[in-house]
Structure 1
Amino acid sequence: MFVKFLRENQLASYFLLVVRLYLGWEWMTSGWGKISGGFEAGGYLQGAVQKAGGDHPAVQGWWADFLTGVAVPNVDLFNILVPWGEFFVGIGLILGTFTTFAALMGAVMNFAFMFSGTTSTNPQMVLLTMFILVAGANAGKIGFDRWIMPLLKKGRNQLHVVENKNNHRPVG
């Protein structure tokens, strides 16, 4: 019943707009702060790896292995991906453009930060993001998705018509 409300009710779309604007602002300003202030993930990544030791590690061994084997050697790439990813997730949520994709990418980053031993606002942001993901298209109805998604659907349907015409073979 609650899922149906989130997915179909116009009042829910207004609630989701407020959630989107809050999350979008948080992501956008965090990303912009890193872009404009210079960002270097190396120390953060090394700190996360160090949190994998001891009796009660804050970081699981498998995640520390990922950080050591993938993130640390490619820190220059992560120095670009993290700030710009945060910024674009924020813009997508604020504008309501590819809303569920932006929310999903934000949740992925929140989980990556939590896996790395950082709590902060990440659990709260994940919880709010779940409402957007469950709501689906209704989360972006008050935003550019109102116009973008029907155009994409129309384009996809036209592509299927063309494919069906080209693959149609008469029987007999």
Structure 2
Amino acid sequence: MIIDALRQNKKVSIILALLRIYLGYTWLMAGWGKIAGGQFDASGFLQGALTKASGEQPAVQGWWATFLENVAIPNIQMFNMLVPWGEFLVGIGLLVGCFTKTAVFFGLVMNFSYLFSGTISTNPQLVLLSIIIRREDSYPQGICRA
């Protein structure tokens, strides 16, 4: 009830739209930096995540390390393409305001993949903002909804 009332408030809608634009810009720039650089390689990151899966208190859980070792690392070329283009397309989806639920879903999948791999960085912030803006009816009228 309170959430619905907030979403009908024009000021709150504008704030949510600004958060969506910020989130979209963050994703877009992260992806574009990797695409334009042309030398993105996730193998070092994935190997680092595997090393965090051992020890007394591992930062990476065993089931995720198994996924990395048996799926991600053997298919590193596919992941080297999916990560930058995924980040870039999530950013476009959020900036344009179309396919926002899909963009937020894939953004959350990527963020949780980074978190499962033992990295923190800006990922918790991006997850929180994604949860806040995840509903398409949180945008002002006239913005594309899909």
TM-score by length of structure 1 reads 0.79
Write the deviation string for residues 24-53 of structure 1: whole angstroms up to 9, x where unpaired: 111000000011112001111111011000
The structure whose Rg is larger is 1
- Does residue 112 (structure 1) correspond to residue 107 (structure 2)? The answer is no
What's the % identity of the aligned pairs? 53
Q: Is the 8 A contact 1:6 1:12 kept in 2?
A: yes
- Distance in 2, matches of 1:141 and 1:74, equals 43
**Residue 78 of structure 1: aligned partner:** 79
Going from structure 1 to structure 2, the CA distance change for 1:106 and 1:141 (only over 3 Å counts) comes to farther
- Distance in 2, matches of 1:144 and 1:45, equals 37
- Does residue 41 (structure 1) correspond to residue 55 (structure 2)? The answer is no
What code does the residue aligned with 1:14 have?
I
Mark the runs of 5 or more structure 2 residues left unpaired by the alignment. Answer: none
- Does residue 99 (structure 1) correspond to residue 104 (structure 2)? The answer is no
Alignment of 1:51-62 (within 5 A): 51-62=52-63
- Does residue 25 (structure 1) correspond to residue 13 (structure 2)? The answer is no
What code does the residue aligned with 2:14 have?
Y
Going from structure 1 to structure 2, the CA distance change for 1:140 and 1:10 (only over 3 Å counts) comes to closer
What code does the residue aligned with 1:13 have?
S
Q: How many residues align?
A: 145
3-state SS of 2:143 partner: coil
Q: Is the 8 A contact 1:27 1:89 kept in 2?
A: yes
What code does the residue aligned with 1:128 have?
L
Higher helix share: 1
Mark the runs of 5 or more structure 1 residues left unpaired by the alignment. Answer: 150-172
**Residue 158 of structure 1: aligned partner:** none
Going from structure 1 to structure 2, the CA distance change for 1:85 and 1:6 (only over 3 Å counts) comes to farther
Structure 1 residue 6, shift from structure 2 partner: 4.8
Q: CA RMSD in A?
A: 1.6
Going from structure 1 to structure 2, the CA distance change for 1:54 and 1:141 (only over 3 Å counts) comes to farther
Q: Is the 8 A contact 1:59 1:117 kept in 2?
A: yes
Write the deviation string for residues 80-123 of structure 1: whole angstroms up to 9, x where unpaired: 00000000000111110111111111111110000000100000
